[in-house]
Amino acid sequence: MTGSRPPAVRLRHLAAPLFALTVTLAAASPAGASTGHPTPTIVDTARGHGTVVSYTFDDGPNPVDTPRLLAVLRARHVRAVFCVQGDHAREYPALVRRIAAEGHLLCNHSLKHDDLGTWTVDQIRADLLATNAAIRAAVPHAHIPYFRAPFGSWGATPEVAAGLGMQPLGWRLAITDWEPPGTDELVRRLMDGITPGAVVLMHDGGGDRSQTVEAVNRTIPLLRAAGYRFTLPARGH
């Protein structure tokens, strides 16, 4: 079939590359471009006012579900935060590069997902620096604005992370997707548990996350229909 696309189709056709350019430029922004300065306060709120929400994903990347999740976020025009494990960044550097190139923010989630809650300041600093080095081996000069403690076991990590330029990132809603209960149940937990300003904790690594990916795909349009806007987490108080 020949001929030009109808106007609406042409607009959609042009929107994808324009969005890709926008998020790529955002990923390349220098560290100083972020608003606010890191503090030891654990933030669990999304930027902006009213019905805003932030999606965050832990324990990746993994070669099966992270690409599927990135495709969903790209199609839905949502930016998210990926809390990356250093050992996974070493194993799958191309996926870390893709996360950054598609405009998402990177978060330090420790080197091996150890419980850092009882570690000394020096031990924590060494782990966080090693994790940042693993991420930057994949994405040189990467901006890593957040740190999230494995298991939410914070100990002395907030002070160390802030000293290294990373805001401690918590959450208001965890849908317990590390024990996959079925996509319908994940959608229900998210829709029932969401509150304005929430940072939502989900996972793209640590196991089969196909249910999470589908729940993300289904809830984005539902939340938008309910008046929600997708933003990034706050940066200090």
The model's pLDDT over 157-196, given as tens digits with 9 standing for 90+, comes to 999 999 999 999 999 999 999 999 999 999 999 999 999 9
Task: Give the per-residue pLDDT at 25.
Answer: 34
pLDDT at 30 over 70: no
| CATH ID of 39-230, from 3.40.50.10470, 3.30.360.10, 3.40.50.150, 3.20.20.370 | 3.20.20.370
Task: Give the per-residue pLDDT at 26.
Answer: 36
* Residue 73 near residue 47, CB atoms below 8 Å: no
pLDDT at 35 over 80: no
For residues 105-117, average pLDDT = 98
Catalytic positions are 58, 203
pLDDT at 13 over 90: no
For residues 2-18, average pLDDT = 32
| pLDDT tier at 236, thresholds 50, 70, 90 | confident
**Which two three-digit tokens encode residue 18?**
């324009």
pTM of this structure: 0.85
